[in-house]
Amino acid sequence: MAYSAKLRVWRGDATSGELQDFEVEAEEGEVVLDLIHRLQATQTPDLAVRWNCKAGKCGSCSAEVNGRPRLLCMTRMSIFGEDEVITVTPMRAFPVIRDLVPDVSYNYEKAREIPSFTPPEGLEPGEYRMQQVDVERSQEFRKCIECFLCQDTCHVIRDHEENKESFAGPRFLMRVAELEMHPLDVADRVGDAQDVHGLGYCNITKCCTEVCPEGIRITDNALIPMKERVADRRYDPIVWLGNKIFKR
């Protein structure tokens, strides 16, 4: 049954903005993005919203619904009461461009800081061989759709602009972990994880894992194993001695 849903949408730009209230018709089975589109079509043709696939796969429609980082296209209206006010705001950790569209370039800057996959010298594409268990390990991380909801929710940068320079955020620390765990990657990622990408800022609150729409166990499977490798490298006396001898 159709009903009139109450939407409260943030509208504005980098200089100022406000929450505005709307009543928008909702049909059975719809998601929040459907209502944002109907709002655009019927009342606010200049409302800015980023989206692409409407299938939870492009990572474009990230925003916050009632304060929780979510994909608008995967958030069913049926999880809210018909009388509930549904507040839709842009991701808070990034500067706003307009309305629901944030500037996520911080994420691309962090991506560029990570050296790419580095196979052993002389090994040509087509000659790569790895065990199935190693393929499966990185497969989980490669499900990432780069929605940046994990980046948005992590308290290290959510309200701390000053940490952005030294903290890559969960998505990119996960990328470092993926490469570090790759059996054919010969680059040394452990030191940089701590010193360049800011792994030490993460105090494993797991909020990133909770909001990941792909269900990637970012904290347990990427961040904690990386922390263990850093601890081994820096504080295990046997590993430390081995590194010293090996480096001579």
Stretch that binds ligand F3S, among 8-16, 42-50, 97-105, 201-209 (CB under 6 A): 201-209
- In this chain, which of 59, 90, 102, 198 binds ligand FES, going by CB under 6 A? 59
What gap in Å lies between CA 101 and CA 189, rounded to an integer?
A: 33
**Closest residue by Cα to residue 18 from 78, 68, 74, 90:** 90
- Structure-token pair, residue 232: 């081994």
Quick one: 33 or 147, whose CB is closer to ligand SF4?
A: 147
Classify residue 96 by burial, with Cβ atoms within 10 Å: 0-12, 13-18, 19+. Answer: buried
> How many Cα atoms occupy the beta-carbon half-sphere of 108 within 13 Å?
3
Greatest extent of the chain over all pairs of C-alpha atoms, in Å: 74
Do 138 and 178 meet the contact criterion of CB atoms below 8 Å apart? Answer: yes
> What residues from 68 to 87 belong to the interface with ligand FES (CB under 6 A)?
71, 73
Instruction: Establish if 212 lies at the interface with ligand SF4 (CB under 6 A).
Output: yes
Q: Which of residues 88-127 bind ligand SF4 (CB under 6 A)?
A: none
Q: Which is nearer to ligand SF4, 49 or 212 (CB)?
A: 212
Q: What is residue 25's three-state secondary structure?
A: strand
- Measured over the CA atoms of residue 24, residue 26, residue 32 and residue 36, the dihedral's sign is negative
Choice from 49, 61, 91, 174 touching ligand FES (CB under 6 A):
61
Contact in structure between 68 and 211 (CB atoms under 8 Å): yes
Binding site partner of 146, from ligand FES, ligand F3S, ligand SF4, none, Cβ cut-off 5-8 A by kind: ligand SF4
Name the amino acid, one letter, at 190: V
222 binds ligand SF4 (CB under 6 A): no
Closer residue to ligand FES, CB minimum distance, 41 or 231: 41
The residue (of 103 and 214) whose beta carbon lies closer to ligand SF4 is: 214
Query: Residue 207's binding partner, choosing from ligand F3S, ligand FES, ligand SF4, none, with beta-carbon cut-off 5 to 8 A by kind?
Result: ligand F3S
- Per CB under 6 A, does 89 bind ligand FES? no
148's contact among ligand FES, ligand F3S, ligand SF4, none, with CB below 5 to 8 A by partner kind, is: ligand SF4
Q: Which residues lie near ligand FES (CB under 6 A)?
A: 51-54, 56-61, 71, 73
Interface positions with ligand F3S (CB under 6 A): 154, 156, 170, 202-208, 219, 223
